[in-house]
Copies of this chain bind each other. A is one copy, B any other.
Amino acid sequence: MLKLRQIYQMNNLHKLFFKAFSNQTRLEIIQLLKKEPLTVTKICDKTGFEQSRVSHNIKCLEHCGFVKATQNGNFREYALDKETIIPVIDLFEKHIQKYKERLKTCKIIT
């Protein structure tokens, strides 16, 4: 009984983890932060995204432990928490290289 619940919780956490990454906005932010720490405004400039779109999504990334913020007077500078994200992204490259055509043509995930 308890075991079933544990399995459920585990899957649920996994789901949350992966959802954090399965969003265009958040992935583009991560991509940019791989190069250098940035403020919300600078991310907006570089991506063309609406300011509130970036704020909402970076808040999610921060809350879930993927990025860290340092307050600098009026500014908040966001940086990747390299411990997790970099290895995660890098690990997937191999799979993506091998299966990219298949990923692109899947009818279920789009």
For the residues of A in contact with B, the DSSP-based class is: helix
Quick check: A106 and B17 within 8 Å, CB to CB?
no
User: Which of B7, B19, B65, B106 has a CB less than 8 Å from the CB of A98?
Assistant: B65
Number of copies: 2
Minimal beta-carbon separation of A28 from chain B (angstroms): 6
| Bound CA span A3–B105, Å | 23
CA distance A10 to B8 in the complex (A): 31
Whether A74 is near chain B, meaning CB under 8 Å from some CB there, is no
Contact of A60 among B60, B88, B108 (CB under 8 A): B108
Q: Contact: A103 with B22, CB < 8 Å? A: no
Return chain B residues, CB-CB under 8 Å to A106: 16, 20, 60, 63-64
